[in-house]
Structure 1
Amino acid sequence: MQTAGYVSTGYKGLDNILDGLRIGDNVVLKVDSIEDYRYFVVPYVDQALVDGRNVIYMRFGDHEPLLDPSPHIKIYEFDPRQGFEIFATRIHQAITDEGKEAFYVFDSLSELLSAWATDHMIGNFFRVTCPYLYELDTVAYFGLIRKHHAVRTIERIRETTQVLIDVFNHDGHFHVQPLKVWQRSSPTMFLPHRKQGEMFFPLANSFEATDLLSSRSARQEESSSRQLDHWHRLFIQAEQLFESPATELEQAHMVKHICRHMIGREERILGLSIRSFTLRDLLDIKTRLIGTGFIGGKAVGMLLAHNILKRQQDFDWNHHLEPHDSFYIGSNVYYSYIVHNNMWRLFMKQKTQEGYFSAASELRKEMLIGNFPEAIREGFRKMLDYYGQYPIIIRSSSLLEDGFGNAFAGKYDSFFRVNQGSPEERLEQLEDAIRRVFASAMSEDALTYRLQRDLHEQDEQMALLVQRVSGSYHHHYYFPELAGVGVSYNTFVWDKDMDPKAGMLRLVLGLGTRAVDRAEGDYPRIVALDAPLKRPHKGFEDTRKFSQRDVDLLNINDNCMETISLLNLTTHDVKIPWRNYAVQDKETMQLLKRRGRKQDIWLLTFDQLFSDNNFSDLMQRMLKTLEESYDYPVDVEFTVNFTTDRVAKINVVQCRPLQTKGADHEVVIPKQVPEERTFFRTEGNFMGGNISQPLKWVIWVDPAEYSKLPLADKHEIARLIGRLNKRIADKVDSPTLLLGPGRWGTSTPAMGVPISFSEISNLSAIAEVAFTSGNLMPELSFGSHFFQDLVEADIFYLALFPENKTCFLNNRWLEQQSNSLEGLTPAGARYKSVVKVIRVPEKNLHLMADVVSQQLICCYQQEG
């Protein structure tokens, strides 16, 4: 309940016009200059100090300070260039700290334009800040410089504030005209008032009013640009510059200016963008942008890759590149969605230490049921009209995504939409996907990732990249022939003769989901580009075991993504040139024939594709060209479709700096270590570069005991490991090794332990142990999102195949160790037969690996 306290503006004449201010009032003054704004601020502050008020100055503008330093005025300083989220969050926190009945002066809101480009975000800032000030019984002054803002933004501010006053000069006289005074009125309150001395008098006769208002109206009509947002004025200027005989230097300055407002803030990516994009490129991006703001890291990476390749001087990439026709949903739409659906207070709660995870859970639910402003929905409709009923994919493209050091691989969601149905149905399908991508920014894994990488206080807006799905129709299915991940530096070399610098591919038939994620019971083809026909396994039986069995595709009839077995797909007339990608499994075909069933059975090996090196050379050229421009190893997601004359058409759908470690320090693997001092050793099957890591703890999940557990208990084992991860693991002070059966992070407990990334985040190393009798097999996941998580979290990965002659696992040592589980977590004691927690004695166990020799050992160091 607001008090009805009368507050003076510091000008008796203005008090008379407004009937004074009220506690809770936000006062916005539209002025011609900062000096005009200061004219009203100083008397207001002087009067507030006389009245014993707590006066706060919110300083963020580049203009001269509105107030001189004083021991009686508290000054907060903010930098809006850090981004809307950080700026608004810190102001919200300052207001919270000051509490009730403070009196505020804010620098001119127009100053925020240079930092944010679009004044739509100024409207958002005011809409979330003004009501909070009102609730705390404050009085606050805000200034707006005339002609700097779109009419729509002024209207949003008018709707939100309690007092809006137009301040202007005419015929050498100062004038004020209240445009809104909440819950007060008088016969002359909303007339223009001329200042005479210290008083303001209404223009009560018609000829003065006509002279004044007609003159003001004419001046406003002279500038049609006042109807435009600052953002749109910028691009009008860019269009005019492009169409004029501007110098290269002038265009370069405009490119740099636009990149800082639309491409991003990360300096290395920004510098690469400024060098790679022309003014025409940026104007083309703008024509396909819905909303305003940044297009996000994923979109930038995709666009950079296409530009870099197309402009290579010594190779015609236009012959091999599939053109893209993507759309971009600007990062400001994310905040506008939050503000539009009244989630800002909850968003601010999530920014606090105590609410970081708990409020995020509630916010995520709210994000899934919000609605979009009509202007944004109109942009969605136009985009869907363009794509028609072609399948599309809605991908996260946040500000921090795909930069140097922060890939965010798999942290945010992406969704395929088959895009069938009426326009209304397709719009709802699109909006549902966008809501879900927005909500994924509040997932526990994403929040944990940001927290661990000290990104939780950075501005992280969620832009989106909308792409036509690359592929073609095969009856009622739609999919690309090939898809995968390529990396320009291969730390997973399984043969000492391989060159890590040659790069590698992780290749599948159909949608690339099975290449970027670990698919249950399925294996993509791992290709070392300097030895494309070599496999990380041996023999036809292993080829059958470690091959792709299922294909992800889009079912047009059922309007959904579908996983279909390769066996089933081959029975459809899908016009796939199987012999280019697969070999017949004649043994299985003969077995079926004896049972009265005749059918072609194919094993995807891709050997024919790589038999002449043309395709592998092309992919290696692509990766190395991008690596050279980035001056850094790259990680690329791609699709491949072939023309009728078998020309590969590659669509680079994502490109980012590769998060990896190489052989940056030499590790000498000890020879002939006795078995009693060895925990395990193996050749190959590890990722993470060279390592020499002492261990304090070992967590062992027994494969045989795990396999016996019911489904619910298998999930509980994952939660138990998560608790141990928080309780004992620390990469510096308490390095911990986790070993367990099959695949860590699987969503199918029958394939391994279904942990999340946040449940292994503090570990130093993890090992996947093959348990063939329980069908629990590791999956060498180099290039997958899971791999990116491990590398970025500095977690070493290895796989153990105890049945192989090149691998030794000391089960006797395991049995001899005491189990610390019950003492660490009494609630988990019932699983002590499944999970053993080993406290390593002072004579540390040491994990060592060497990339060059492909040797790995975990053993006690030699005494002395």
Structure 2
Amino acid sequence: MDFTPSGSDFGNTHFGKPSTGVPGLDYIIDYLRLGDNVVLHVDSIDDYIYFVTPFVEQAHQEGKKINYIRFAEHKPLIAPGENVTIYDLDANAGFEVFSTQVHQIATREGEGVYYVFDCLSELLSAWATDLMIGNFFNITCPYLYELNTIAYFSILRNRNSFSTVATIRETTQLLLDIYNCDGDVFVHPLKAQNRYSPSMFFPHVQRGENFVPVTSGVDGAKLYACVISRGLGKTERNWDYWDQVFFKASEIYEKAQKQDQSGGTEETKMVETICKMVLSKDKTILNLVKNNFCLGDLLDIKSRMIGSGFIGGKTVGMLLARKILDQNPLLKWDDFLEPHDSYYIGSDVFYTFLVQNGWWKLRMEQKCPDKYFQAAKELKEKIMKGRLPEAVRDQFKRMLEHFGQSPIVVRSSSLLEDGFGNAFAGKYVSIFCVNQGTPEQRYQEFEKAVRTAYASTMNEDALNYRLQRGLAEKDEQMALLVQRVSGTYHGDYFFPDIAGVGLSYNTYVWKDSMAPEAGMLRLVFGLGTRAVGRTEGDYPRVVALDAPLLRPCGNMDDIRKYSQHEVDVLNIKENQWETISFRQLTNEKLDLRLNLVAVKDWETEKKLKELGMAGEQAWVVTFDKLLSNPDFLNTMQSMLKILEEGYQCPVDVEFTVNFDTEEKPRINLLQCRSLQTKGQHTKVNIPQSIEEKDILFRSTGNFMGGNLELLINRIIFIDPQQYHQLPIRNKYDIAHLIGEINRLVDDNAETATLLLGPGRWGSSTPSLGVPVTFSDINHMRVLGEVAFFTAGFCPELSFGTHFFQDLVETDIFYVAIFPEKEDVIFNQKWLDEAPNHLGTILPGNDQWMHVVKVIDLSQAFPGKNLYINADLVSQKIICYTL
């Protein structure tokens, strides 16, 4: 059979089909087709250039535009020239950013354009895993096909795993194996979609302008010797680059262990490589982890990983904090800390989940400003129904076998979460799995928790947070931290004895004698969900570590009222998370060491007895006995200060406490992140000679945000009595209206706005406050919560909560005002008599003017200014006109 083409078959095109620029190659593959993605499997970049150059020259002759996607460090494939556009992209920005940029380029350039991409194997240096290269090709190739483009790609032989090459083979239209053997160029088509000829899938050797099929003889022997020498069949080709790195790391570590010495420069370089692959992209975090983790630590992390990629900010924070403590000689931390039992689901699993379910195009739509929220809602719904990659499902099941029927928690740990300056506090979810039932039932519960955590990336609050902080275009892969829940079984319930938040710097001090540097705690009985959130009608114990038994409120009535009344627990029998009243829990005859967390409420027990309920106990959660234990207090303060020194900034930690048989507290450190604070700076002058008629409010304590001297331009005030009388549905209308006004404030520095309202801002219960989301108030400069006890409105000083973190990050000063207290002035008459400009700034809302008052100070009081002065040292605050 004669496989040699005749000269008449050659030409630039054949029946209108585009040419590769290499006549012999055109003949082998029957030319190109619009929509083709062409992948060359090569030994070197020069072999790739050998075929790229004629393709570009041919395109130039035909007047076709070439887009060169440049991202690698190898030499350029194409020189600048007419009809050539070079796009320089940074692959180190991350998979999502890079893929989005390519998608946007393709969308902007439109149909019929030609593309040349740098070698895909070079992406390994930026992404560290073949999996993500396969994902990139899987989403980019079909989109270019839709646009009727022709695109050239290459991969280097033995640099990518079999599975990645298989993914590329399945997705592309043309896959060509290229060999250069002592000057002879061989082309072996492995895939040619919608084409066939009797000789097409033979290897071909170039002879002049022709490519001749290799069927036997000298050429065949030369090719097969070349193939063998290039490593066909080597075991390493089965390995992902990720696995190769960790295999090498294990060799270095084992060698150093045998020699009982450090691995030296080789080990240092490997630590740096793995930190960049697994722990963080953030330079500050990278410096911390490189200075604290050794190669053995990183291999331990790998042993608990499922999938590849980053483990995320929350996981890194937890591991880093424990390592910093472990290395500090001040205390023997093994005597105080519970060991953690955690697994880490790598961030690559999240993107693979999106890609394999076919949602990447929707993900790209969600990047568009006009579809930012709309597409997110659709994607969130799809994520909750998606199927997780098969490769990780088996690993999930093995992990669940490890945990048995112990309760576990699935915690978000995104790339940006808990970083310096962006805490994402409360924006993503943590899901408790009570983990009861058959293995299949427990697996289904766990998989649902994973999907829920992934879906939380599309939560409106999280999207608003990213938008506000300029992070909407950042790479935000979602890793997950899976932890065994710290706690004890009490009958049908499971929960820790104590959970809490600790801050190494306390900006909420309410006495002159307190030092902010001493730090503070926020403690609850049961699960820590009540410590990090603003819980309706409930008050965690706020503890200044230099005055632990001192309370902002003094008498027993106040202590009883401003204490914890509900407890979050895991109900083992019902296989669910639930909230139960503290009184009910204490009367279920459970093995609870209440004396460590509460005090007897003899007055209430007396009343219960009078009502015929003599057997019922009454306790008030105070933690007084624990807070009288200097060992516990010293341990917590030492922990916070050591971490603050390690992080070189104030820190915020989450923890649990469980008591052993000797009532010794054991601490489980769950999370650590940098804490943004507003310190004292220069002492602020509190004017003493202001007449009372010129004071809007004056108080002692009950504010957060450090020292403040601020000129206020606008006041928004919600009348408590009028708001109280509204039906529930109208209270939500008021929240929506506040959001509209908030969005009119472009710059909270230029239009400094004081927002005053009854009770708690952001309450989920409208009877306790205005049910806004944080994005409805994020442009305010000062947030005031005013107590009106007759209507049930009471502020909560939420220091240490996710709400507090939002206020600090957004630079919003907070004040709680209690008008009924003797030393407090709140001049509502001043507000009532001021003109209302609501109709001016937001026409069409006259029906709410009796509830919402907007006071433009320059118009209401020409020639006068409104100031707020707050001094952290004296704990004095005053808002006055002058």
1:696 to 709, 713, 727: 713
For the pair 1:281 / 2:302, whether they are aligned, the reply is no
Cα displacement (A) at 1:210: 6.8
**Counterpart residue number, 2:33:** 22
**Counterpart residue number, 2:59:** 48
Cα displacement (A) at 1:72: 2.6
**Counterpart residue number, 1:740:** 757
**Counterpart residue number, 2:780:** 763
CA deviation map 1:36-55 (0-9, x unaligned): 00000000010011011011
In structure 2, the CA distance between the partners of 1:222 and 1:18, relative to structure 1 (3 Å rule), is: closer
| Distance (whole Å) between structure 1 residues aligned to residue 808 and residue 532 of structure 2 | 15
1:125 to 136, 142, 148: 136
Cα displacement (A) at 1:813: 0.4
Q: Aligned to 1:464, what secondary structure does the other structure show?
A: strand
**Counterpart residue number, 1:176:** 187
**Counterpart residue number, 2:170:** 159
For the pair 1:749 / 2:769, whether they are aligned, the reply is no
TM-score (norm 2): 0.96
The AA in structure 1 aligned to 2:478 is: M
CA deviation map 1:102-152 (0-9, x unaligned): 011000001100000001100111111111111111000001000000000
Aligned residues: 859
| Distance (whole Å) between structure 2 residues aligned to residue 693 and residue 416 of structure 1 | 43
Cα displacement (A) at 1:207: 8.1
Cα displacement (A) at 1:810: 0.5
Q: 1:57 touches 1:104 (CA, 8 Å); kept in 2?
A: yes
For the pair 1:89 / 2:100, whether they are aligned, the reply is yes
Q: 1:4 touches 1:22 (CA, 8 Å); kept in 2?
A: no
1:170-249 equivalence runs, <5 A: 170=181, 172-205=183-216, 209=220, 212-213=223-224, 216=227, 219-221=230-232, 223-245=234-256, 247-249=263-265
Cα displacement (A) at 1:213: 4.1
1:351 to 367, 373, 379: 367
CA deviation map 1:74-119 (0-9, x unaligned): 1111010111111111111111111110011000001100000001
In structure 2, the CA distance between the partners of 1:813 and 1:68, relative to structure 1 (3 Å rule), is: same
Q: 2:504 touches 2:637 (CA, 8 Å); kept in 1?
A: yes
Cα displacement (A) at 1:849: 0.5
The AA in structure 2 aligned to 1:61 is: A
2:82 to 71, 95, 111: 71
Cα displacement (A) at 1:829: 2.1
1:262-411 equivalence runs, <5 A: 262-411=278-427
Cα displacement (A) at 1:822: 2.4
Cα displacement (A) at 1:220: 3.0
1:625-636 equivalence runs, <5 A: 625-636=642-653
The AA in structure 2 aligned to 1:484 is: G
In structure 2, the CA distance between the partners of 1:144 and 1:729, relative to structure 1 (3 Å rule), is: closer
| Distance (whole Å) between structure 1 residues aligned to residue 695 and residue 480 of structure 2 | 50
**Counterpart residue number, 1:58:** 69
CA deviation map 1:354-393 (0-9, x unaligned): 2222222222222221111100111211111111111111
In structure 2, the CA distance between the partners of 1:729 and 1:185, relative to structure 1 (3 Å rule), is: closer
Cα displacement (A) at 1:536: 1.2
RMSD (Å), alpha carbons: 1.5
| Distance (whole Å) between structure 1 residues aligned to residue 476 and residue 368 of structure 2 | 15
**Counterpart residue number, 1:565:** 581
**Counterpart residue number, 1:10:** 21
1:799-814 equivalence runs, <5 A: 799-814=816-831
| Distance (whole Å) between structure 1 residues aligned to residue 16 and residue 460 of structure 2 | 46
For the pair 1:523 / 2:539, whether they are aligned, the reply is yes
For the pair 1:649 / 2:670, whether they are aligned, the reply is no
CA deviation map 1:251-307 (0-9, x unaligned): 121111100110001111110000111101100101111111100000000001111
Q: Which runs of 4+ in 1 moved over 4 A?
A: 206-211
For the pair 1:543 / 2:559, whether they are aligned, the reply is yes
Q: 2:36 touches 2:145 (CA, 8 Å); kept in 1?
A: yes
Q: 1:5 touches 1:22 (CA, 8 Å); kept in 2?
A: no
Cα displacement (A) at 1:824: 2.6
Cα displacement (A) at 1:192: 0.5
| Distance (whole Å) between structure 1 residues aligned to residue 280 and residue 62 of structure 2 | 46
CA deviation map 1:318-356 (0-9, x unaligned): 011100111111111111111111111111111122222
**Counterpart residue number, 2:744:** 727
For the pair 1:860 / 2:872, whether they are aligned, the reply is no
Q: Aligned to 1:826, what secondary structure does the other structure show?
A: coil
| Distance (whole Å) between structure 1 residues aligned to residue 477 and residue 841 of structure 2 | 40
In structure 2, the CA distance between the partners of 1:704 and 1:184, relative to structure 1 (3 Å rule), is: same
| Distance (whole Å) between structure 1 residues aligned to residue 552 and residue 217 of structure 2 | 91
**Counterpart residue number, 1:260:** 276
Q: Aligned to 1:629, what secondary structure does the other structure show?
A: helix
| Distance (whole Å) between structure 2 residues aligned to residue 426 and residue 845 of structure 1 | 59
| Distance (whole Å) between structure 1 residues aligned to residue 415 and residue 234 of structure 2 | 35
| Distance (whole Å) between structure 1 residues aligned to residue 60 and residue 485 of structure 2 | 63
Q: 2:506 touches 2:518 (CA, 8 Å); kept in 1?
A: yes
**Counterpart residue number, 2:8:** none
The AA in structure 1 aligned to 2:584 is: N
Q: Aligned to 1:562, what secondary structure does the other structure show?
A: strand
Cα displacement (A) at 1:71: 2.8
Q: 1:123 touches 1:156 (CA, 8 Å); kept in 2?
A: yes
**Counterpart residue number, 1:101:** 112
| Distance (whole Å) between structure 1 residues aligned to residue 421 and residue 346 of structure 2 | 23
The AA in structure 2 aligned to 1:853 is: S
Q: Aligned to 1:415, what secondary structure does the other structure show?
A: strand
Q: Aligned to 1:7, what secondary structure does the other structure show?
A: coil
Cα displacement (A) at 1:221: 4.8
| Distance (whole Å) between structure 1 residues aligned to residue 218 and residue 442 of structure 2 | 58
Q: 2:502 touches 2:519 (CA, 8 Å); kept in 1?
A: yes
Q: Percent identity?
A: 52
| Distance (whole Å) between structure 1 residues aligned to residue 748 and residue 778 of structure 2 | 10
**Counterpart residue number, 1:844:** 865
2:608 to 586, 592, 612: 592
Which of 785-794 and 209-218 deviates more? Answer: 209-218
| Distance (whole Å) between structure 2 residues aligned to residue 159 and residue 207 of structure 1 | 33
Q: 2:64 touches 2:83 (CA, 8 Å); kept in 1?
A: no
| Distance (whole Å) between structure 2 residues aligned to residue 250 and residue 452 of structure 1 | 43
In structure 2, the CA distance between the partners of 1:461 and 1:4, relative to structure 1 (3 Å rule), is: farther
Cα displacement (A) at 1:674: 0.7
| Distance (whole Å) between structure 2 residues aligned to residue 198 and residue 523 of structure 1 | 83
| Distance (whole Å) between structure 1 residues aligned to residue 263 and residue 355 of structure 2 | 42
1:822 to 839, 852, 855: 839
| Distance (whole Å) between structure 2 residues aligned to residue 732 and residue 144 of structure 1 | 52
In structure 2, the CA distance between the partners of 1:420 and 1:39, relative to structure 1 (3 Å rule), is: same
Q: 2:410 touches 2:483 (CA, 8 Å); kept in 1?
A: yes
| Distance (whole Å) between structure 2 residues aligned to residue 801 and residue 179 of structure 1 | 77
Q: Aligned to 1:62, what secondary structure does the other structure show?
A: coil
Cα displacement (A) at 1:208: 5.6
5+ residue gaps, structure 2:
1-13, 257-261
The AA in structure 1 aligned to 2:110 is: G
Q: 2:253 touches 2:267 (CA, 8 Å); kept in 1?
A: yes
Q: Aligned to 2:443, what secondary structure does the other structure show?
A: helix
Cα displacement (A) at 1:848: 1.3
TM-score (norm 1): 0.98
Q: 1:4 touches 1:23 (CA, 8 Å); kept in 2?
A: no
Q: Aligned to 2:39, what secondary structure does the other structure show?
A: strand
5+ residue gaps, structure 1:
none
**Counterpart residue number, 1:687:** 704
| Distance (whole Å) between structure 2 residues aligned to residue 379 and residue 220 of structure 1 | 31
| Distance (whole Å) between structure 2 residues aligned to residue 709 and residue 61 of structure 1 | 62
Q: 1:582 touches 1:605 (CA, 8 Å); kept in 2?
A: yes
Q: 1:729 touches 1:735 (CA, 8 Å); kept in 2?
A: no
In structure 2, the CA distance between the partners of 1:688 and 1:97, relative to structure 1 (3 Å rule), is: same
| Distance (whole Å) between structure 2 residues aligned to residue 6 and residue 424 of structure 1 | 54
Q: 2:787 touches 2:819 (CA, 8 Å); kept in 1?
A: yes
In structure 2, the CA distance between the partners of 1:774 and 1:206, relative to structure 1 (3 Å rule), is: farther
In structure 2, the CA distance between the partners of 1:409 and 1:5, relative to structure 1 (3 Å rule), is: farther
